[in-house]
């Protein structure tokens, strides 16, 4: 199995010690393969990322592949409080998800009174008693109407928009504590076990 792990350490940590600890942890995990980390950790100074999510995105982008181990700096703004605005957006997201789920449930082909359904694409007649899920088992076509598909897309768009809004509000809240936030290392390491 391929494992990817993230860990946070203090900026002024003893890098050799941290590396030795991770190396030890890895060798305990992959004792069957023998040995610890395949490569040393690349400590990338320079950019301080505004939060842990951005740091992890950067780690992914800077990753050279084949079990690269690397670390970047970030501001630990995880202490930022959830604002009333954020809470409201989270609630809107919850209710949109509930509406989406109940709509999907109400539109299930299994609610139909007939015993069979005809696939709109391959025209196979499918017995509902034997059908699992909402797709044609022969050609994988969605058996619910186009209206259903479009409405689900609308729900998904709304959810994406709410996610974006939430992130924007979160960034605002984080910015307020940014100056006081401690700068730390986010490390990514990879191994086979």
Task: Provide the binding-site residues for Zn ion, judged by CB under 5 A.
Answer: 119, 121-122, 136, 138-139, 141
Among candidate residues 1, 36, 4, the one with its CA nearest the CA of residue 190: 4
C-alpha distances (whole Å) from 114 to each of 117, 119, 122 are 7, 14, 19
Structure tokens given for 193: 């076990």
Nearer to Zn ion, 135 or 165 (CB): 135
Nearer to Zn ion, 123 or 164 (CB): 123
CB of 136 to Zn ion, least distance (A): 3
CB of 117 to Zn ion, least distance (A): 10
| Residue 136: partners with Cβ closer than 8 Å, 6 or more residues away | 119, 121, 122, 124, 126, 143
Nearer to Zn ion, 21 or 134 (CB): 134
Nearer to Zn ion, 66 or 146 (CB): 146
Residue pair 37/18 in contact by the 8 Å Cβ criterion? no
Nearer to Zn ion, 63 or 142 (CB): 142
Residue 57 backbone dihedrals phi, psi, to 5 degrees: -65, -40
Helix (H) or strand (E) holding 102: helix 84-106
Structure tokens given for 128: 């509902």
* Interatomic CA distance for residues 160 and 187, integer angstroms: 29
CB of 118 to Zn ion, least distance (A): 9
Structure tokens given for 32: 């069957």
Nearer to Zn ion, 47 or 116 (CB): 116
């Amino acid at each position: 199995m391929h494992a990817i792990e993230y860990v946070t350490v203090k900026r002024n940590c003893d890098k050799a010690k941290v590396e030795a600890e991770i190396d030890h942890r890895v060798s305990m995990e992959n004792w069957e393969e023998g040995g610890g980390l395949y490569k040393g950790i690349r400590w990338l100074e320079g950019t301080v990322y505004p939060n842990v999510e951005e740091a992890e995105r950067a780690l992914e982008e800077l990753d050279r592949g084949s079990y690269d181990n690397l670390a970047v700096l970030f501001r630990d703004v995880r202490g930022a409080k959830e604002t009333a605005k954020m809470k409201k957006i989270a609630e809107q997201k919850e209710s949109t998800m509930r509406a989406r789920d109940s709509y999907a449930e109400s539109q299930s082909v299994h609610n139909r009174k007939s015993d069979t359904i005809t696939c709109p694409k391959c025209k196979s007649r499918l017995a509902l008693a034997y059908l699992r899920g909402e797709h044609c088992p022969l050609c994988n076509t969605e058996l619910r109407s186009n209206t259903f598909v479009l409405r689900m897309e609308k729900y998904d768009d709304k959810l994406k928009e709410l996610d974006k809004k939430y992130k924007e509000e979160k960034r605002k809240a984080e910015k307020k504590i940014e100056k006081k936030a401690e700068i730390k290392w986010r490390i990514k390491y990879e191994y086979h076990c």
